[in-house]
Amino acid sequence: MKANFLYIIVFFFISEINAQVGINTINTNSAAVLHLDAQKIPYNVFGGFLMPIVTEAQQALIPVSTSDNRDDGLMVFVSDPVTGKRCWEVYDGILYVWRSINCNNNTCNSDILFEEDFNSYVENTGVTGLSSVNGNYPGGVTKWSLTSFTAFGDNTPSLPGTLIDANDFAKVISGVMTFRDTNGTFLLETQLIDISGYTDINISMDFSESGSLEYIDDHTNDYECGESESDYIDIEYSTDNGVNFTEVPNYSGNGNANHTLIDDLSGTISFSVNGITGATLIIRIRLQNWADDEYYYLDNILVTCN
């Protein structure tokens, strides 16, 4: 008892001098604020470091900051008997998301990491050509964002002299994201999707069209990839927080070297690409059409692990 008491006194005295804490050691490493030794003194018994263990529901209750980086580096081990998730996770206090450093999940069982079928929004949620917002957008939408339309006039030499009006839109109609007469490139971009701890990520979605869409190769007034008035869809993804995007060209022969899909889509095109790895994922759909009777339809965006 006296030996243990003496050890405690010496331990705290040395810790105070070095402004460090040592557990099971009085020889603290000068580079460490907290030094844990595996061997218990004076016994020949060894142990490890056990970090806080939480379920996914308990992790969601941790009051991490979403306005500054004071919680950057906070660590827990997520062990959830319901979802099967077993991951060492660190909080990213810059982007305010949990990052999986290592997961013990041996299989992903086709986990759904992101899903959007556009069925949860009121009719006409989106934007019009006058940059007005409708329905749940933007306040009630967290999964994706839309660019604003830009009105081009006769003073823009590379574009036809048309002004975008309220009849042009990108909005949810009957549970489908519908793009009408965008008059130039328009973007739908997903939120940042956490794919850490998984491999072989798969992206899928459905596209269809209606109207007199066309693609012309011989434009001389370049606007986007050499086609100023052509109709096309580009599907891109980023695994570096949106710094760089990878475009999927000529999907299943329905596009070309510059674009994922071009005109004359036959029925519904079920797009799919796999083999993606990383910590985060952003999906971007970039498209354009140029007439009142031209529509593109997007539905069933899904991100899974194979």
Contact 172, 124 (CB under 8 A): yes
Confidence category of residue 164, pLDDT binned at 50, 70, 90: low
Specify burial of residue 64 (Cβ count, 10 A radius: 0-12, 13-18, 19+). Answer: middle
48 phi and psi angles, rounded to 5 deg: -125, 180
How far apart (Å, rounded) are the C-alpha atoms in residues 289 and 230?
7
Tens-place pLDDT, residues 122-142:
999 999 887 789 999 999 999
For 128, the 3-state DSSP assignment is strand
Residue in the block written with tokens 């040395």: 14
Confidence category of residue 5, pLDDT binned at 50, 70, 90: very low
How far apart (Å, rounded) are the C-alpha atoms in residues 132 and 169?
10
Identify the bridge partners of residue 112 per DSSP, sorted by sequence position. Answer: 304
For 298, the 3-state DSSP assignment is strand
Percent of the chain with pLDDT over 90: 50
Identify the bridge partners of residue 271 per DSSP, sorted by sequence position. Answer: 205
Alpha helices in 19-62 (DSSP H): 56-60
Greater confidence (64 vs 103) lies with: 64
Give the global pTM. Answer: 0.63
